[in-house]
Chains A and B, each alone.
Chain A
Amino acid sequence: MGQQPFETIMEAHHAEIYRYLRRVTSRAAEADDLSQETFLRAYRAYRALPSDANVRAWLFTIATNLARNHFRAEGRRSRAHAAVSFFRSALDDGTGPEGETLFNEARARVEAVVERLPLRQRLAFILRKIHDLDYEVIARSLDCSAETARAHVFQALRKVRQNLGEPPQMEIQR
């Protein structure tokens, strides 16, 4: 098998997977539960994973599947709840960047739009734009083709852009 110990996998990826799930869920407890379930599932299946597999992509796929199932169940229980996302706090961990920046308003608007995107668009947007995953991986996570995954991201960006209005004065950082 020639696999790394599972502890190494947790060390390398837990923080990022947790962060991802915190971005897509509305409560800290949900991210906590889903990240736990992601890694327990991964542990059960890890031995069967080919040694050359992309572990990070694999973990994102598991996490995304769990999040989708969770939202399906959650949606049945209470659709209203899903609208109250925790996107901002998830990113800041309770401590905002020092001082107000020129971006704050724009950023709040982007986040508000992302929170209200249809689930697949939201997941595709976060996976691609925040976590920089390949479209093939996003496609696997969302059970669709890479082209459809790309289209989800495009639609999400379009909505974000429509809601952003005039571009704020800023330096592009990349």
Chain B
Amino acid sequence: MNRTRVCSDIEPEIVASATGDADPTTDERVQRHIGRCAPCADEYQRYRAVEGVVDVIRRAPAPVAAAGRARKRLEASLHDLRHRIMTYRIFPSPLGQILIAQSEQGVSLVEYLGSRTDVRHSRLAQARGVEAVEDGADVEVLYRELMEYLEGKRTRLEWPLDLRLVRSDFHRHVLSATAEIPYGAVTSYAGLACQVGRPTAARAVAQALRWNPLPIVIPCHRVIGTSGALTGYAGDKIGLKQQLLTTEGIRTQKTAVPRHSMYISIPNETFYCLPSCSWIPSAEHPHRFIFFGTRERAEASGRAACGDCRPDLHPLTN
């Protein structure tokens, strides 16, 4: 290939100018130079020719059909990915590190990590069909609301939920019943088993709560043993259960709730009573009782004071 001898010091500028890649000052300098240097003028023209060919290539018709097919495939993959992705963040809290995750459908996981701060220790890392993506912005709002709840400034977390991490339909059923337990109240595993139509399945109910992916939001801390014992929470975190109940105005003595000094009602009932109310000793399903720590909480749940025992006139003194 014949190479025209060009002035090497200005060659990059000639190339840039001829191919439309130079600023006006460079263009001017190149024009001045090629006006008096024939080999460089020739070289300039050759690069103009290259630019002309490149321009044709640039304007060639787009591969519309193939791009359309690729786009369709992408849309299907993106749909799957969107379904799989759960964004999460790990926050400090009075209950230790808490991981909060959500999908496009709603909040999917609230998990106590203790002192650990790595998602690898989370259920999220083991969940099938889930892609965990760390992202603060959206989850931050949930965290703030959760903190308000833990500080007692908020009594409800009205979040859309994604129950994908719930293990079975039975667990889902149990959690749905648990979500109905009012703020500031407790009931028993056996009572919850009755609520879901499986009166002998208290242990299975306890297991369902153990695997609750949304503690606090679905208030499994409001479920205790029939004796009043706190029994268990998220494995061995009875201390957390105690803290949560205290926030809701429920006193605990050692590791039990003193039910004898609490107001009593039953699910779907419109009144609440003193423990001494006349119907209570003969109640058909005493384990279905719901116990309220304070009258305020019983009334906030929509219940009125019983007309017989009048807890409004004779409140419990603790």
Q: Known contacts A93-B62, A110-B50: does B74 contact A14 (CB below 8 Å)? A: yes
| Inter-subunit contact B73/A18 (CB<8 Å) | no
* CB of A73 within 8 Å of the partner chain: no
* CB of A22 within 8 Å of the partner chain: yes
| Inter-subunit contact A173/B137 (CB<8 Å) | no
Instruction: Report the minimal beta-carbon distance from A126 to chain B, rounded to whole angstroms.
Output: 10
* CB of A136 within 8 Å of the partner chain: no
Chain A contact patch, size range: 35 or more
The complex places the Cα of A163 from the Cα of B133 at a distance, in Å, of 49
Stretch from A36-44, A53-61, A62-70, A75-83 contacting the other chain? A36-44
| Inter-subunit contact A172/B61 (CB<8 Å) | no
Instruction: Report the minimal beta-carbon distance from B198 to chain A, rounded to whole angstroms.
Output: 42
The complex places the Cα of A157 from the Cα of B135 at a distance, in Å, of 43
| Inter-subunit contact A35/B74 (CB<8 Å) | yes
* CB of B65 within 8 Å of the partner chain: yes
Residue-by-residue, is A145-166 near B (CB-CB < 8 Å gives 1, otherwise 0)?
A: 0000000011001101111110
* CB of A8 within 8 Å of the partner chain: no
* CB of B187 within 8 Å of the partner chain: no
| Inter-subunit contact B21/A128 (CB<8 Å) | yes
Stretch from B12-20, B147-155, B160-168 contacting the other chain? B12-20
| Inter-subunit contact B85/A44 (CB<8 Å) | yes
Q: CB-CB < 8 A to A31: which residues of B?
A: 66, 70
Q: Known contacts A157-B50, A167-B49: does B55 contact A173 (CB below 8 Å)? A: yes
Q: CB-CB < 8 A to A18: which residues of B?
A: 63, 66-67, 70-71
| Inter-subunit contact B66/A93 (CB<8 Å) | yes
Q: Interface SS of chain B: helix, strand, loop or mixed?
A: helix
Smallest Cβ-Cβ distance to A153: which chain B residue:
B21
The count of residues in chain B whose C-beta lies closer than 8 Å to any C-beta of chain A is 48
* CB of A72 within 8 Å of the partner chain: no
| Inter-subunit contact B3/A162 (CB<8 Å) | yes
* CB of B10 within 8 Å of the partner chain: no
A-facing residues in B51-85 (Cβ within 8 Å) = 51-67, 69-71, 73-75, 77-78, 81-82, 85
Smallest Cβ-Cβ distance to B70: which chain A residue:
A32
The complex places the Cα of A93 from the Cα of B69 at a distance, in Å, of 13
| Inter-subunit contact A36/B52 (CB<8 Å) | no
- 18 further A-B pairs in the complex, CB-CB below 8 A; given A47-B135, A173-B59: A14-B67, A14-B74, A15-B62, A22-B66, A35-B70, A35-B74, A36-B73, A39-B78, A107-B57, A130-B54, A130-B58, A153-B21, A158-B15, A161-B46, A167-B46, A167-B48, A168-B52, A172-B55
